[in-house]
């Protein structure tokens, strides 16, 4: 807690004792942590010098004594995120990734991949087709103003796909293109929010009832409005997170300004 955007201020500590580390602290917002067998943690191993230089990257078995996972139930009733507490957790020193106090460098590399992944073009393409199906079924596809919104979204999804492909092809040819990962994250998350908003608009009052079970994979119920519209409210709320997690979009803009635009 308190080290979201300001990740370098991370306070969870790992103290080396012989062939193990003793970890004490807390991690908040761990997505699907209730299912995890392992967790990778950025832990403070030194308070010398710049905050970034005293961080290490540790792999921890979630079954270790001293670990508690506490659910955070979000406004939509979902159990997706958790708090994880570490109370004198013993971790074998061999679980250190790379060198001690170099965790910040490894984390930045990993986060760039996470942000590229968050762009989630495949899902955007699938949801675009679903949006069109809903708009047609609900009669708003014929409304040119509404269709303009869909067209704009489609253009932006195609542009995002091209950008992701550029990053991937640069990666395979050995060029470091991960600096633009923040841009992919910003654009991808905004697109995710746009398609959920347009689906809500297309469905009108049928999108309003919130059916919790409808969020489960394979849900077949039909007791509210048109069955296929029931998960829309839940999905709309759930997607509010996308501009926050993986590093907030405001902070991504700062990073892009510094690393890509050089300001
Ligand atoms: C649903 C959800 C799931 C998550 N899952 C995970 C997970 O699985 N693993 C994990 O490690 N983390 C996860 N996170 C944490 C996420 O990365 C942080 O919430 C995020 O980085 C923001 O940090 P914060 O919550 O501490 O907010 P803060 O850093 O306190 O930010 C609050 C606000 O201030 C703005 N802000 C802060 N600093 C600046 C700045 N320098 N310039 C401009 N604006 C600024 C932010 O944009 C934000 O709007 C998750 C978060 C959510 C909400």
Domains along the chain? 7-101 (2.40.110.10), 106-259 (1.20.140.10)
pLDDT greater at residue 58 or residue 114: 58
CB of residue 29 inside a 6 A radius of ligand 1: yes
- For helices 181-203 and 144-172, give the axis angle rounded to 10 degrees: 150
Is it the case that residue 125 has pLDDT exceeding 80?
A: yes
Interacting residues of 98 by C-beta distance below 8 A, sequence separation 6+: 57, 106
Residue of 245, 246, 249, 258 to test ligand 1 pocket, by largest number of atoms within 8 Å of CB: 245
Structure confidence at residue 74 as a pLDDT band (50, 70, 90)? confident
Query: How far apart, in Å, are the Cα atoms of 26 and each of 11, 89, 163, 175?
Result: 8, 11, 36, 36
- What is the rounded average pLDDT of the residues 63-84? 93
Over residues 246-253, the mean pLDDT reads 94
- Per-residue pLDDT for 222 more than 70? no
Per mean pLDDT, which range of 154-158, 178-182, 187-191 is the poorest? 178-182
User: Could you tell me the distance, in angstroms and rounded to a whole number, from the CA of residue 35 to the centre of ligand 1?
Assistant: 22
Weakest-pLDDT range from 47-61, 96-110, 231-245: 231-245
Q: Is the pLDDT of residue 223 over 60?
A: no
Is the per-residue pLDDT at 228 higher than 90? no
Q: Judge if the beta carbon of residue 9 lies within 6 A of ligand 1.
A: no
Q: With pLDDT > 70 as the criterion, what percentage of the chain qualifies? A: 95
Using one digit for the tens of pLDDT, what is the confidence trace for 1-22?
999 999 999 999 999 999 999 9
pLDDT band at 59 (very low <50, low <70, confident <90, very high): very high
Other CB atoms within 10 Å distance of the CB of residue 213? 12
| Residues written for the chain | 263
User: Considering only 15-24, 104-113, 182-191, which range has the smallest mean pLDDT?
Assistant: 104-113
**Overall average pLDDT of the 236-251 stretch:** 93
Quick one: CA torsion of 133, 136, 138, 144, rounded to 10 degrees? Answer: 130
d(CA 196, CA 180): 25
Residue 140 predicted with pLDDT over 90 = yes
């Amino acid at each position: 807690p308190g080290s979201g955007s300001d990740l370098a201020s991370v306070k969870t500590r790992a103290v080396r004792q012989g062939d193990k580390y003793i970890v004490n602290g807390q991690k908040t917002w761990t997505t699907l942590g209730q299912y995890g067998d392992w967790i990778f943690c950025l832990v403070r191993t030194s308070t010398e010098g710049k905050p970034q230089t005293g961080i290490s990257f540790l792999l921890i078995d979630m079954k270790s004594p001293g670990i508690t996972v506490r659910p955070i139930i979000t406004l939509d009733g979902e159990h997706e995120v958790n708090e994880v507490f570490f109370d004198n957790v013993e971790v074998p020193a061999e679980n250190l990734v790379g060198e001690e106090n170099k965790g910040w460098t490894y984390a930045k590399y990993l986060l760039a991949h996470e942000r590229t992944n968050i762009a989630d073009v495949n899902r955007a393409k699938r949801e675009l087709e679903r949006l069109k199906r809903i708009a047609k079924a609900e009669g708003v596809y014929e409304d040119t103003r509404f269709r303009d919104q869909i067209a704009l979204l489609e253009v932006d999804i195609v542009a995002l796909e091209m950008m992701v492909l550029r990053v991937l092809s640069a990666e395979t040819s050995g060029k470091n293109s991960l600096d633009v990962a923040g841009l992919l994250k910003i654009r991808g998350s905004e697109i995710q929010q746009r398609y959920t908003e347009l689906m809500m608009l297309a469905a009108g009052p049928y999108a309003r009832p919130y059916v919790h079970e409808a969020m489960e994979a394979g849900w077949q119920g039909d007791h509210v409005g048109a069955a296929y519209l029931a998960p829309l409210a839940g999905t709309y709320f759930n997607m509010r997170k996308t501009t926050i997690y993986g590093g907030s979009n405001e902070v991504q803009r700062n990073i892009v300004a510094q690393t890509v635009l050089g300001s």
